[in-house]
Amino acid sequence: MTKKLTVVGAGLMGSGIAQVAAQAGWDVTLRDLDEAATGRGIAGIRASLGKFATKGTISQEDADAALARITPTSDLEAAADADIVVEAVFESIDVKRDVFKALDKICKDGAILATNTSAIPITQIAAVTARPEAVVGTHFFSPVPMMKLCELVRGLKTSDATLDASRTFAEELGKTCIVVNRDVAGFVTTRLIAALVVEAVKLVENGVVSAEDLDIACRLGFGHAMGPLATTDLTGVDILAHAARNIYTETADPKFFPPELLQRMVAAGDLGRKTGKGFYSY
């Protein structure tokens, strides 16, 4: 029997999750608010699959077949027959809660309701549903077709069966999973990168070191594939600032408070690669 996935949110993360699921043989519904948003998502998937086919990583036939398994829609009711729903909307607890309230009414019994949040506690999202045991965090990494890690995050009431099914799903998509047993704000990876980015920005802000040299230090001294400021540009300066503030709000730990430079960059629209300028110019 064909497995059915609905991805709510057709942005960079949502379209990436839809792509790898379709490549793994899942029938995927990709939902966003309007046809323009889903169109951008499908275009991104088509381009990504095309690059893999050009490089010979997959055949053109497999790329075409994967694309054919993805159905765009603006109707959330399309999630009614999904076995798994992965929410990948804006990183706001209010927005996510609204989505999960609606999914709780729409989705069939036994469906897994997963959130791709990188920092918001799962328990707070699950609390608006009548099935908190079926809610789990599946934090994929960007770009999803390339990055191998998936954080599986337990809420207070997430069941073992839900966690096990989520692991099976992520592993079918080619991911290696770690389990976060308590959904503290930021989980594991976002908590680590937020602390590193905040300190890195402070060092640059205070004139201790340039952004370029700080990233060189982390690459050559610590073996990081990318420095923290280049990572911030890739992820989105606004995304990292928002995640750090979420963790700070939850913990009141000053090491997570977004520095003034980070906040000013967000206000100025210097958000990294997606706007052409962040800590570097693109």
pLDDT (0 to 100) of residue 178: 98
Sorted by sequence, the CB contacts under 8 Å of residue 12 that are 6+ apart come out as 44, 142, 143
142: confidence class by pLDDT, cuts 50, 70, 90: confident
How many CA atoms, within 13 angstroms, populate the side-chain half-sphere of residue 48? Answer: 23
| C-beta of residue 172 within 8 angstroms of C-beta of residue 47 | no
Distance CA 142, CA 164 (A): 23
pLDDT (0 to 100) of residue 186: 92
174: confidence class by pLDDT, cuts 50, 70, 90: very high
Q: Do β-strands 149-153 and 135-140 pair in parallel, antiparallel, or remain unpaired?
A: antiparallel
Whether the pLDDT of residue 119 is over 90: the answer is no
Q: Do β-strands 27-31 and 70-73 pair in parallel, antiparallel, or remain unpaired?
A: parallel
237: confidence class by pLDDT, cuts 50, 70, 90: very high
Helix (H) or strand (E) holding 86: strand 84-87
Q: Tokens 């951008």 map to which residue? A: 40
Q: Which two tokens stand for residue 191?
A: 């908590």
Residues 146-173 have pLDDT tens digits of: 999 999 999 999 999 999 999 999 999 9
Instruction: Output the CA–CA distances (angstroms, integers) from residue 277 to 6, 176, 262, in the order listed.
Output: 33, 32, 13
Distance CA 254, CA 266 (A): 20
| Domains observed in the chain | 4-180 (3.40.50.720), 191-275 (1.10.1040.10)
Q: Which two tokens stand for residue 21?
A: 């699921």
pLDDT (0 to 100) of residue 2: 77
Phi–psi pair at 225, nearest 5 degrees? -65, -35
Q: Which two tokens stand for residue 105?
A: 């009414």
